[in-house]
Amino acid sequence: MLNKNGKDDSGGTFPRFAPPFVQASGRGKSHLLTFTVAAIVMWILGTYAYIYFSPHLFYNRLEKIIVQRGIAATTTAGSPSGIPINSLYAMPELASPAASTSNLMLTGTNHDTLYTVGWLDLSKGPQVLHVPDMAGRYYSIEFVDPWNDVFAYVGRRTTGTHAGDYLISAPAWQGALPQGVKQISSPNNAVLLIGRVLVESDGDLATAYGLEKQIRLTPLSQWQPAQ
């Protein structure tokens, strides 16, 4: 029989064991802590992955929509038609909720410029962008990479409003730059081009559209000076 010191009457000592419910409680707390830490780590990694990859996913979605369906302003037999790779579409109307430009609304638009949109694949070779003399009119053309970073601008604020030609090249391109042509080196083979031409009033729409249509893309292999 044990006395109060854990010894039997013969003087022997017996080990003391924690009650089973105490051991179970300790294991439960350990599992809960492990689960909490794992959940926090997964949440942090998931948030980082979403923030990092969401621009690229949005870019790919927008590319698919524009190439396959256009910007809902180009139609074939009453149905929207796409904008082929390495070509430009000049929008003849101002963007508005009432206008048929729902796909373009994904990029955010304003109501006082005409939009030019195109998707470039520079793996097929450089493209030469020609802009006409805008005679002081505001215009801009931005070049966007697959991570939604704008890496170059052509327009009144950066290059002026005189006529010009710009060679858009892939990262690995090492060809000869034609005389009189400025180079824009893209960090990626895929490029989204978004152009804007200011419309000063309702009566100015036709003039602005005429200038917008003169913004052209030509493969370098087919390009000729003063084209």
Tell me, what CATH number does 153's domain have? 2.60.40.1610
Q: In the chain, which stretches have pLDDT less than 70? A: 1-29, 46-81, 96-109, 226-227
Angle at 196 between CA 122 and CA 60, to 5 degrees: 45
What whole-number percentage of the chain has pLDDT above 70? 64
Any domain includes 25: no
For residue 183 the two structure tokens come to: 């180079």
Whole-structure pTM value: 0.69
User: What is the rounded distance in angstroms from the CA atom of residue 36 to the CA atom of residue 175?
Assistant: 56
> 182 and 162 in contact (C-beta within 8 Å)?
no
Nearest-Å Rg of the Cα atoms of the chain is 32
DSSP state of 178: P
Q: How far apart, in whole angstroms, are the C-alpha atoms of residue 184 and residue 53?
A: 25
Tokens of 199: 């419309």
pLDDT for the residue numbered 225: 84
Residue 109 domain-assigned (yes or no): yes
CA distance 89 to 101: 12
Q: How many CB atoms lie within 10 A of CB 203?
A: 8
pLDDT tens-place string over residues 148-196: 889 999 999 999 999 999 999 999 899 999 999 999 999 999 999 999 9
- State which residues form the domain around 105: 69-222
Chain Cα centroid distance, residue 10:
84
Residue 34 lies in a domain: no
Q: Say how many domains are in the chain.
A: 1
